[in-house]
Amino acid sequence: MEHCFLGLQAGCADHCDPIGELLTVHCSLCTVHCSLFYNLAMRVTVGVSGGIAAYKAAELVRALQRQALEVHVVMTAAACRFVQPLTFSSLTGNRVITSLWDDAAGGAGDTAAEQNGIEHIGEAQWAEALVVAPATANVLAKFAHGIADDFLTTMYLATTAPVLVAPAMNVNMWNHPATQANVEMLRQRGVRVVEPGTGDLACGMVGTGRMAEPDAIADAVLRALGRRHDMAGEVVLVTAGGTREALDPVRFLGNRSSGKMGYALAEAAQSRGAKVILVSGPTALHPPAHCELMKVITADEMREAVLKRMAEATMVVKAAAVADYRPVAVSAQKLKRTGPMTLELAPTEDILAEVVRRRRPGQLIVGFAAETNDSMANGRAKLAAKGADAIVVNDVTADGVGIEAETNAATFLTATTSIELAEMPKRQLADRILDEILALRRPRPLMVEMDEDDDLKSRQDRVLGDAVLPARRQLIVE
């Protein structure tokens, strides 16, 4: 840790090479402190297409600049009707590209008209990420079908950098099968879709189609740039969704799990460089790109899939809501209503406990606990009973969080620590959970307590072991 304190004291200059690569990637304090150095020289093109959310692209540019990224802006002709290019050239200090053929609407530039015809190639090569926000139905359709009739769409075809789109449109346009098919096609090609939110839309309707918040889009850009590539070499086996136990050919016993938390974990681990095997019960979700998906239905099938692949995994994260019981008998025909009925149920195998029994040295095993009462006591009991390294405890009765919700709050519980993870979008929580799982690999301090106001000297004085934890972590040593 001497390394990190050196970095902190020296403004981290010693830890960053001339092009801004962070040398010490495994120290959270240093990573936080060095993020400006780390992102330096990373280049992002923001594509703005014509929707009312175009004004929010200015906030996105600012959010990216706060991360010390260099930003260029490309606007479609329709976007220029909503926002002046001057807004973006003022923010970035760079000329805004508005056309393949001329520079009429540009801000500070003086490029000759004839040069623009090949400029898309230069811009495509310059950009380390292209993010289109807002992405209209029209732009998504053009991207999906390879139509290149303006600068942005031409650049999209010419770039090999990661591409992100943040759709924004009327709810009916978003739900239209044509748009959904285009988005799916783009996803299959590895384009990252920053999902639109649900709420009041500019058109007066209520529904899905509102562009994601600029900070969330900026986060996605940072992930796409691989800022956090701290899971390379890890193989993460994630279970997600609920399982279903058949009663007859048309009915089953199941639960309300949407799979969102597990899918967010899979996506987060994948974007941080891990190989991900996602064992999923039935869900309505799109599998994250580049994850290996194993679809299962019953608890037994999930058990079989997990046991088959767990030897490869360096981490097993069991976010699935697995059925605890299955009907003893499954009727071959649809059950008829014949008055009151008593079902006889038999317990399923506890997959998590079995994974712990079969673990190989070095494997990290993390479970979830969905609780409706006495969450912490139940979570601790589950941690002890199952023998996992950690349990992520959810109070699923809290308003707006947990099962089916877009956000979640949790407590990351280990035998000696309890870390509160406040309510946040599930994708963000997934990253926080992965941070804590990775932290399990670090050497443990004897006892460290810090808060935001500590000065560096007192932090050093109080480190008793050879590791240091980020300021927000609270250690409870019992």
Please tell me the distance from the alpha carbon of residue 390 to that of residue 366, in angstroms, as a whole number: 5
Which residues 6+ apart lie within 8 Å of 11 measured at CB? none
Residue 134 preceded by cis peptide, ω within 30: yes
Nearer to ligand CTP, 46 or 321 (CB): 321
Binding ligand CTP (rule: CB under 6 A), the pick from 75, 127, 278, 369 is 369
Per rule CB under 6 A, is residue 216 in the interface with ligand CTP? Answer: no
Residues 236-265 that bind ligand CTP (CB under 6 A): 239
Least gap, CB of 12 to ligand CTP (angstroms) = 38
Per rule CB under 6 A, is residue 348 in the interface with ligand CTP? Answer: yes
Binding ligand CTP (rule: CB under 6 A), the pick from 191, 352, 413, 463 is 352
**C-alpha distances out from residue 75 to 45, 100, 131, 257, 371, Å:** 10, 11, 12, 41, 48
Per rule CB under 6 A, is residue 326 in the interface with ligand CTP? Answer: no
Least gap, CB of 433 to ligand CTP (angstroms) = 12
| Choices 205-213, 220-228, 279-287, 343-351; region in contact with ligand CTP by CB under 6 A | 343-351
Q: What share of the chain is helix, strand, coil (3-state, %, to 5)?
A: 35, 20, 40
Least gap, CB of 267 to ligand CTP (angstroms) = 18
Least gap, CB of 391 to ligand CTP (angstroms) = 7
Per rule CB under 6 A, is residue 304 in the interface with ligand CTP? Answer: no
**Residue type for 31, please?**
T
Site string for ligand CTP, 378-397 (x = CB under 6 A): ----x---------------
Please tell me the distance from the alpha carbon of residue 418 to that of residue 475, in angstroms, as a whole number: 7
Residues 110-169 that bind ligand CTP (CB under 6 A): none
| Choices 156-164, 165-173, 282-290, 365-373; region in contact with ligand CTP by CB under 6 A | 365-373
Per rule CB under 6 A, is residue 299 in the interface with ligand CTP? Answer: yes
State the number of binding residues for ligand CTP (CB under 6 A): 16
DSSP string, 74-133: EE-TTHHHHS-HHHHHHHHSSPPB--SS--TT-SS----HHHHHHHHHHHHHH-SEEEEE
Nearer to ligand CTP, 205 or 384 (CB): 384
Which residues 6+ apart lie within 8 Å of 259 measured at CB? 240, 241, 242, 280, 281, 283, 285
Nearer to ligand CTP, 167 or 367 (CB): 367
Please tell me the distance from the alpha carbon of residue 121 to that of residue 116, in angstroms, as a whole number: 9
Please tell me the distance from the alpha carbon of residue 475 to that of residue 416, in angstroms, as a whole number: 8
Per rule CB under 6 A, is residue 324 in the interface with ligand CTP? Answer: yes
| Choices 48-56, 244-252, 274-282, 316-324; region in contact with ligand CTP by CB under 6 A | 316-324
Per rule CB under 6 A, is residue 350 in the interface with ligand CTP? Answer: yes
Per rule CB under 6 A, is residue 429 in the interface with ligand CTP? Answer: no
The set of catalytic residues is 203
Question: Are 97 and 151 a contacting pair, CB within 8 Å?
Answer: yes
Please tell me the distance from the alpha carbon of residue 433 to that of residue 155, in angstroms, as a whole number: 36
Question: Are 319 and 240 a contacting pair, CB within 8 Å?
Answer: yes
Residues 29-48 that bind ligand CTP (CB under 6 A): none
Nearer to ligand CTP, 76 or 298 (CB): 298
Q: List 252's β-bridge partners, or say none.
A: 246
Least gap, CB of 282 to ligand CTP (angstroms) = 15
Binding ligand CTP (rule: CB under 6 A), the pick from 40, 276, 370, 434 is 370
Please tell me the distance from the alpha carbon of residue 49 to that of residue 147, in angstroms, as a whole number: 15
Cβ neighbours around 233 below 10 Å, total: 9
| Site for ligand CTP, rule CB under 6 A | 239, 299, 318, 320-322, 324, 348, 350-352, 367-370, 382
